[in-house]
Amino acid sequence: MAEQIPTIKELARASQAAAGRKDRESWLALFSPDAIVEDPIGPSPFDPDGKGHRGLAAIAAFYDNVIDQAERITFEIERSYLCGDEVADVGTIRTTLAGGTHVAIVRGVFTYRGNGAGQLTALRAFWEPGALELVEA
């Protein structure tokens, strides 16, 4: 029996689950070699030039510098819009920062594009750094 290729929605959920578990290897394995991560899109403290993190080495560095620094990450997806090999998730990401005393709350639209062969080619996050809410844990 042929192996079932995951849908883009399944890939998006797998990305969110791996980030939530802080499972670096599983998260990186979801991306194609030439994929890009833009989180958020445009210049930010995570990406001063605003060009995104392209290729597996750059995506791994993003993981190490951003995701791995969090104590906990949860995704609350309110709605999803599936169109071809892309899905747009509307929701909230809650990140418990190192030390566990504060939570960063980011509301936005998080898009995932696949290559039809079971890999992510783009993860793009539409959120405004100035609108990030920081609350006590």
In a domain, 2, yes or no: no
Q: What pLDDT sits at residue 65?
A: 96
Residue 19 in domain? yes
| Structural domain includes residue 99 | yes
Does residue 44 fall inside a structural domain? yes
Task: Kindly state whether residue 3 falls inside one of the protein's structural domains.
Answer: no
How far is Cα 24 from Cα 28, in angstroms, rounded to an integer? 6
- Judge residue 48's burial from the number of C-beta atoms within 10 Å of its C-beta, 0-12 exposed, 13-18 middle, 19 or more buried: exposed
Q: What is the pLDDT of residue 112?
A: 98
56 in a domain, yes or no? yes
Give the per-residue pLDDT at 2.
67
Residue type, 129: P
Please, what are the averages of pLDDT over each run of 10 residues along the chain (137 residues)?
87 98 98 98 95 98 97 98 97 96 98 97 97 96
Q: Is residue 1 part of a domain?
A: no
The predicted pLDDT at position 1 comes to 62
What is the domain range of residue 58?
8-136
Q: What is the CATH number of the domain that holds 42?
A: 3.10.450.50
53-54 and 31-38 strand pairing:
antiparallel
Total domains in the fold of the chain? 1
In a domain, 106, yes or no: yes
Q: Side-chain half-sphere of 77: how many Cα atoms within 13 Å?
A: 13
